[in-house]
């Protein structure tokens, strides 16, 4: 794992109780950043904090439902209160669902509230704090479904396309104020979110067949892209939806 020299910096990660979020939180800590670990699942979030502490890093947990404006405001305020600043934010919290029932009112609203409105709320609060200290870097989790269509996931696909658009908006809005905004667009990643489907040998084989590299991705591979996008190594990169998908969207 690359150490990007983030000593003295502060990172905020939502959905950090497992999968991609936990991998990113661990990666930020490995590079020296203090991490505000955020999730709706308290025990999972505290486990991420424990893993960071075990590797010698600094982290604290903050409960946050990203669809609740008050909780998002409190989350960002907690980063400043506990660590004094905010330099990096990875807005990763999200939900997945499949099927035509996404068109029912409740399912559609929940997908949009968490996957899209949640990102907007986080960006709004994070940018306000970053502007006070001269800038920072924000990365949002979109999806390959934010780059291409998917006939089975209307709400999820719409929400992730929205995240890409919101990312481009933020990049333009804050480009000359020291804030870079990018998105990662994961393919199918081997996490708890995909575990049920991937446990079916036929489904897993289909996933592997549709991926040119012939396998599912690992959370650490998404985390590596997030860290690079936040680092000075990507200092001239903003507004970009970066596909990390084993070549799936090349087709």
Q: Which H or E run contains 89?
A: strand 88-91
Residue 135 has pLDDT above 80, yes or no: yes
Q: Which residues are catalytic?
A: 156
Kindly report the pTM of this predicted structure: 0.95
Residue 152 has pLDDT above 80, yes or no: no
Handedness of CA 149, 154, 156, 162 (dihedral sign): positive
Please report whether residue 200 resides in a domain. no
Please report whether residue 180 resides in a domain. yes
For 104-119, letters b (16+ CB in 10 Å) and e give eeebbebbbbbbbbbb
Please report whether residue 171 resides in a domain. yes
**In sequence order, what are the residues at sequence separation of 6 or more whose Cβ sits closer than 8 angstroms to the Cβ of residue 2?**
31, 224, 227, 228
Q: Which H or E run contains 194?
A: helix 192-198
Residue 110 has pLDDT above 90, yes or no: yes
Residues 144 and 185: beta-carbon distance below 8 Å: yes
Q: What CATH number should be reported for the domain holding residue 27? A: 3.40.50.720
Task: Give the pLDDT confidence score for residue 190 in this predicted structure.
Answer: 87
Residue 139 has pLDDT above 70, yes or no: yes
Model confidence at 10, pLDDT cuts 50, 70, 90, reads: very high
Task: Give the pLDDT confidence score for residue 101 in this predicted structure.
Answer: 55
Please report whether residue 106 resides in a domain. yes
Residue 195 has pLDDT above 80, yes or no: no
Model confidence at 99, pLDDT cuts 50, 70, 90, reads: low
Residues 134 and 86: beta-carbon distance below 8 Å: no
Please report whether residue 207 resides in a domain. no
Residue 194 has pLDDT above 90, yes or no: no
Please report whether residue 102 resides in a domain. yes
Rounded to 10 degrees, what is the CA torsion of 161, 163, 169, 175? -130
What is the spatial distance between Cα 242 and Cα 92, in angstroms, rounded to a whole number? 14
Structure tokens at 104: 């029912």
User: Over the chain, what is the mean pLDDT?
Assistant: 94
Residues 190 and 198: beta-carbon distance below 8 Å: yes
Please report whether residue 23 resides in a domain. yes
What is the spatial distance between Cα 183 and Cα 242, in angstroms, rounded to a whole number? 6
What is the spatial distance between Cα 179 and Cα 110, in angstroms, rounded to a whole number? 29
Task: Give the pLDDT confidence score for residue 120 in this predicted structure.
Answer: 98
Residue 98 has pLDDT above 70, yes or no: no
Residue 73 domain boundaries:
10-190+218-243
Model confidence at 19, pLDDT cuts 50, 70, 90, reads: very high
Residues 14 and 65: beta-carbon distance below 8 Å: no
Give the whole-number percent of the chain exceeding pLDDT 70: 97
Please report whether residue 80 resides in a domain. yes
Candidate from 115-119, 194-198, 224-228 with smallest mean pLDDT: 194-198
Residue 100 has pLDDT above 90, yes or no: no
Task: Give the pLDDT confidence score for residue 71 in this predicted structure.
Answer: 98
Counted domains in the chain: 1
């Amino acid at each position: 794992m690359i150490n990007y020299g983030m000593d003295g910096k502060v990172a905020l990660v939502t959905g950090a109780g497992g999968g991609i979020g936990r991998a990113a939180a661990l990666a930020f800590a490995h590079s020296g950043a203090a991490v505000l670990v955020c999730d709706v699942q308290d025990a999972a979030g505290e486990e991420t904090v424990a893993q960071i502490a075990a590797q010698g890093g600094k982290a604290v947990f903050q409960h946050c439902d990203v669809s609740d404006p008050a909780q998002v405001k409190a989350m960002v305020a907690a980063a400043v209160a506990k660590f004094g600043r905010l330099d990096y934010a990875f807005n990763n919290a999200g939900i997945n669902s499949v099927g035509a029932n996404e068109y029912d009112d409740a399912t559609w609203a929940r997908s949009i509230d968490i996957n899209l409105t949640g990102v907007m709320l986080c960006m709004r609060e994070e940018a306000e704090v970053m502007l006070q200290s001269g800038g920072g870097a924000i990365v949002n989790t979109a999806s390959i479904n934010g780059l291409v269509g998917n006939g089975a996931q209307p709400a999820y696909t719409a929400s992730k396309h929205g995240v890409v658009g919101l990312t481009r908006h933020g990049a333009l809005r804050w480009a000359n104020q020291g804030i870079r905004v990018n998105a990662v667009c994961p393919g199918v990643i081997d996490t708890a979110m995909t575990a049920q489907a991937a446990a079916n040998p036929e489904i897993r084989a289909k996933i592997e067949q549709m991926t040119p590299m012939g396998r599912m991705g690992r959370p650490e591979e998404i985390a590596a892209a997030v860290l690079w996008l936040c680092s000075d190594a990507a200092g001239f990169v903003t507004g970009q939806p970066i596909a990390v998908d084993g070549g799936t969207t090349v087709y």
